[in-house]
Amino acid sequence: MRGLGTIINTATVVVGGSVGYFIGHRIKDSIRTIVVQVIGLATLVMGISNVMDTHNLVFPLVGMVLGAIIGELLRIEDRLEGLGEVLRKRFAKGSGEESTFVEGFVTATLLFCVGPMTILGAIEDASGKTPQLYIIKGTLDGFMSVIFGAIHGVGVLFSAVSVFVVQGTLTLFGTQLDSLLNDRMRIELFATGGIAVMAIGLNLLDIKKVRLGSLLPGLIVTPLLVQLFADNTGLLR
């Protein structure tokens, strides 16, 4: 069934976020902290692994730098926070939730929607085959949403909407997207996504606050750089 993976992934975030939101207070702070740290470490390792697959680090590096500049000029991070703020004002119930809603929504949205698994999973999901990547991703997202729901509250639940919209849209255009990318583009795209995933890991570990939303255009810029300088001119290999 086409789109089954997106439905499964969305459901795991809703279930996990609900569990965390309603009974998360029973989870000890020390357990929350160590689980988030482990998730952060695992996310960091996943990102490094993806970056290591690059054929030429120039492409993901330059692509991410240019993309980050574009992201800042477009104020993507601020707009994501603004969207979260609109939802907070409409649905948050008290001052305690207000302080965490935006952070929960933005962090969970970017964590669940940014990365190579999101793109590659969409291509697999569009084929109608068993969506193994989204099932694996959904399992990870569901577990993380339990912890995030306990920490950040109802904002994590609304990230399920982002998962459904982003992955659903990518799945609808998965076949066309795959046809636009050659093998080299995929490799460098996933390496660029790895940098973004590393940034998520740094945020989770509280090592450095990275404006994740600003990094998103890099996922578009990098394949274009490959097309221009590797495929057409051969200047970089």
Q: Which residue has the higher pLDDT, 208 or 16?
A: 16
Q: Quote the percentage of the chain above a pLDDT of 70.
A: 90
Q: What is the pLDDT of residue 95?
A: 54
Task: Flag the least confident range among 142-146, 174-178, 202-206.
Answer: 174-178
Which of 133, 152, 164 minimizes the C-alpha distance to 203?
152
Predicted confidence band at 221 (pLDDT cuts at 50, 70, 90)?
Answer: very high
Instruction: Please determine, for residue 163, whether its predicted confidence score (pLDDT) is greater than 70.
Output: yes
Which of 180, 76, 83 minimizes the C-alpha distance to 122?
180
| Cα(118)–Cα(18) distance, integer angstroms | 22
| Cα(110)–Cα(159) distance, integer angstroms | 9
Q: Which residue has the higher pLDDT, 88 or 136?
A: 136
Q: What is the pTM of this model?
A: 0.77
Q: What is the pLDDT of residue 58?
A: 93
| Cα(115)–Cα(167) distance, integer angstroms | 11
Which of 166, 191, 148 minimizes the C-alpha distance to 40?
148
92-136 pLDDT per residue, tens: 555 555 557 777 887 788 778 876 678 778 877 887 778 887 988
| Cα(160)–Cα(145) distance, integer angstroms | 10
